[in-house]
Amino acid sequence: MTERFGAIAFVASETPEAQAALDKLVERYGNADPAEADVIVALGGDGLMLQTLHRFLGSRTPIYGMNRGSVGFLMNEFKERGLRKRLAAAQQSLVHPLAMRAIDRSGSEVEAKAINEVSLLRRSYQAAKLRISVDGQVRLAELIADGVLLATPAGSTAYNLSANGPILPLDAPLLALTPISAFRPRRWRGALLPDHAKVTIEVLEADKRPVSAVADHIQIDEVASVTIAIDRSVDLVMLHDPGHSLDERILREQFGY
């Protein structure tokens, strides 16, 4: 089984801790060309993990992260020794990204993928006014808020959780639609949607109340409407040590530890 991950490619953030770890690991295990590697090992925090997942989107090359950053929810503990044995014993987590199609006020279209969430955010002192449709049916005619986001189970513990959205088990066939500082309807706390749903968010009074759409780290300004759905044609494979799988981490998060 260790031969399956014989060729290892390393990527690292620019922090001194990550670069020092990179030097040690490359000296011990070598450094394969990512295009020919059996596995990618990412050294950094969750930000680097997301960047690495985006970089190798669609390759199906498993990605194993080791924490050399400040936040490491998606990462494994850093250890210099025994990497091949850890890779052989690692458990796989398979996730699909969100596909976003944004149309700005000029009519231009931008497409982007999001592993965690797609969020719409106000860009001025005035709250955004948004209309939300699910599978072509208007479900909320007017949301007045700082914004709204649609999160995957993998991203439900990120921005979604900070906005008081629900934590979703990794294998739950759901998406979390969560408002950000909702003003009207005051009591609306969001919705759980089936993961086959197509969500369309229209920006009302876009000239007066400008809104940006953000798919992970990709931002589109002055949007008029955004359509979001799961892209099942793209598989993302993450590896985690036994007992520290993404499922387990999400479950622990629900119990506050």
Same domain flag for 28 and 64: yes
Nearest to 180 by CA among 168, 192, 188: 188
> DSSP per residue over 67-133, as a string?
E-SS--TT-BPP-SS-HHHHHHHPEEEEE--EEEEEEETTS-EEEEEESSEEEEEE-SSSPEEEEEE
Contact 171, 161 (CB under 8 A): no
Instruction: Find the catalytic residue in 46, 104, 207, 247.
Output: 46
- Tell me how crowded residue 206 is: count the other CB atoms within 10 A of its CB: 17
Is the same domain home to 113 and 223? yes
Domain match, 18 and 66 both: yes
86 & 194 share domain: no
CA distance linking residue 210 with residue 199, whole number of Å: 20
Q: For residues 102 and 83, state if they share a domain.
A: no
Phi–psi pair at 206, nearest 5 degrees: -60, -30
Residues 89 and 132 in one domain: no
220 and 111 inside one domain:
yes
Q: How many CA atoms lie within 13 A of 228 on its CB side?
A: 33
Q: How far apart are CA 233 and CA 111, in angstroms?
A: 15
In this prediction, residue 250 carries a pLDDT of 76
Length of the chain: 257
pLDDT at 5: 83
Same domain for 35 and 67, yes or no, is yes
For residue 202, give both structure tokens.
Answer: 């229209």
Q: What is the CATH number of the domain that holds 9?
A: 3.40.50.10330
Same domain, 110 and 59: no
In which element (H, E) is residue 250 found?
helix 246-254
104 catalytically annotated? no
Bridge partners, residue 101, by sequence: 111, 227
Distance CA 155, CA 170 (A): 9
Instruction: Find how far residue 12's CA is from the centre of its chain.
Output: 19
Q: How far apart are CA 78 and CA 65, in angstroms?
A: 9
Q: What is the pTM of this model?
A: 0.88
Instruction: Clarify whether residues 119 and 179 are in a common domain.
Output: yes
Which tokens is 235 given? 């598989």
* Residue 244 and residue 205 share a domain: no
The whole-number mean pLDDT for each consecutive block of 10 residues of the chain, a chain of 257 residues, reads 76 96 96 95 93 92 92 86 94 93 96 97 97 98 98 92 92 95 93 97 97 96 98 93 78 73
Strands 236-240 and 63-67 turn out to be parallel
pLDDT at 3: 56
User: How many domains, the chain?
Assistant: 2
Question: Both 221 and 245 in a single domain?
Answer: no
What is the predicted pLDDT for the residue at 1? 41
Residue-number span of the structural domain to which 144 is assigned = 98-230
